Amino acid sequence: MDTRAPSDPPRPRAAALQVLGVFLRLGLTSFGGPVAHLGYFRAAFVERRRWISDRAYADLVALCQFLPGPASSQVGMAIGLHRAGALGLVLAWVGFTLPSAALLLAFAYGAALAGGMGGGWLSGLKAVAVAVVAHAVLGMARSLAPDAKRATIAVGALALVLLAPGALAQIAAILIAAVLGLLWLRDEPAAAGAADAFDVRVPRGVAVACLALFVVLLLGLPLLAAATGDGAVRLADIFYRAGALVFGGGHVVLPLLEAETVRTGLVAQDAFLAGYGAAQAVPGPLFTFAAYLGAVTTSGPSGALGAGIALLAVFLPSALLVVGAVPFWERWRASRRARRALTGVNAGVVGILAAALYTPVFTEGVTGPGGLVIAAASFVALAVWRAPAWAVVAAAAILGALLL
């Protein structure tokens, strides 16, 4: 296990700008969906910059698996909050979200995506996602499931998630792993060391207020939309509920968005499907699909205004939950009994990520010999040559355009 202490943050303004720069680069290069994003984040913040430890990162991933909304975006928000406070959370979200949101807004206005949406470059990006996730799973397994008991928990979580796919199976796997950790694993003396701290400077009152606001908006926006009939409030209500009620993130949100937009006549079926195809071809979180849908609505605000309302509304629940939950999570994980449970959870997270490595990452990313070659070469570049992820992604896209 890497026992190096996380690096100290620079001055607040410099730290905030640093957060924006790193997340903007990730927002431009993080293809492959939420599981791949977690791999990119681990490489950027645990291995390369040492902003947090591997254990703290795994704990954070486990927390965000419990929360509704896009897990990778929530992890990013929490890291920004840890590094540079509330401004860091906002800038982490802006940097990671803005590139894909801007591309999808441009697509909504009719701009063509470079190379089309089914070209070889996209196949290359799907292949490099296999290498990114495999590298992350291997690194996490070495530190979080290094012995027989924890490896057994990881394999059990993998089996449960693969044999009973769905968000509920992931939550069940984490809960079972927590129980096994509490009852079966021993305390680790180094588990609560300073190197594993994930400090966030959020007053308890602010955290409670954010959790209360989350509930108030969830219950109040539908009532306000019905009472006023205002199109902007209706749009905010639709996308806020999508961000607040969907567990698992990513593609899980699509059925709810389709029901709330297409079946209600707010978005045409053809427009919905075209935007979904475009969302597969851009980096960053899939939840930015909301920006496209807000831009093409047939009633109420549309264009850039509709996109802005939908984008802010779908991510607002995640921000409120992160600010509200992370401070209590950090206090709770300091308990010895909680540490045993979290040790089991961390092993379970390794299994869940390993299951995702198989499907959908490998099954969609390697569809032939060319894809396997790109995935293998990318893995060697990341794991052996330690090449930066953005350079490996760019090279994979070029190779995909040439070979696939």
Q: For the CA atoms of 40, 46, 47, 53, what is the dihedral angle to 10 degrees? A: -150
From CA 153, how far away is CA 151, in angstroms rounded? 5
Contacts of 99 (CB under 8 A, 6+ apart): 24, 27, 28, 282, 283, 284
What residue has token string 């982490």?
A: 92
- Give me the residues of the chain with pLDDT under 50, please: 1, 111-117, 189-192, 194
Which pLDDT belongs to residue 350? 85
Burial of residue 190 (CB within 10 Å: 0-12, 13-18, 19+) is exposed
Residue 240's alpha-carbon distances to 72, 169, 226, 325, in angstroms, are 18, 24, 15, 18
How many Cβ atoms sit within 10 Å of the Cβ of residue 264? 12
Angle 84-89-91 from CA coordinates, rounded to 5°: 90
Within 43-187, where are the H helices?
54-66, 71-108, 120-144, 148-163, 167-184
- Residue 162's contacts (CB-CB under 8 Å, 6 or more residues apart) are 355, 358, 359
The residue count of the chain comes to 404
Instruction: Please tell me the distance from the alpha carbon of residue 350 to that of residue 139, in angstroms, as a whole number.
Output: 10
244-254: buried (b, 16+ CB within 10 Å) or exposed (e) per residue? bebbbbbebbb
pLDDT value of residue 114: 43
3-state secondary structure 300-339: CCCHHHHHHHHHHHHHHHHHHHHHHHHHHHHHHCCCHHHH
What local confidence, expressed as pLDDT, does residue 327 receive? 82
Residue 147 phi/psi, 5-degree rounding, is -120, 175
